[in-house]
Amino acid sequence: MAVDKTLTVPMHCDGCENRLRTALQQTEGVIKADADHERDEVKLRFDPERVSEEQIRERIRATGYEPA
């Protein structure tokens, strides 16, 4: 069963959104990822049997951003 989650991730521009979205969509178990730099939000739908929230947070950090 998929899980929906919104994370706060400070971003500065459209480029940040695109980098995060691309990195997260390439993560196994992530079904959908949307980033919004104006709201500093990343909205996710993921399969918790394939990827944990902590693994997603690690992927965000590896991309250069710090989730709150």
Could you report the per-residue pLDDT of 9-47, keeping only the tens digit for each? 999 999 999 999 999 999 999 999 999 999 999 999 999
CATH number at residue 33: 3.30.70.100
Q: Fill in the DSSP letter of residue 11.
A: -
Among candidates 40, 33, 34, which has minimal Cα distance to 12?
40
In a domain, 41, yes or no: yes
Q: Measured between alpha carbons, how far is residue 13 from residues 5, 6, 19 in Å?
A: 22, 18, 10
Identify the domain containing residue 54 by its residue range.
3-62
In a domain, 67, yes or no: no
| Dist. CA 23–CA 35, nearest whole Å | 11
Count of domains forming the chain: 1
In a domain, 29, yes or no: yes
pTM score above 0.75:
yes
Among candidates 26, 18, 15, which has minimal Cα distance to 56?
26
In a domain, 49, yes or no: yes
In a domain, 33, yes or no: yes
In a domain, 11, yes or no: yes
Could you report the per-residue pLDDT of 41-67, keeping only the tens digit for each? 999 999 999 999 999 999 999 999 999
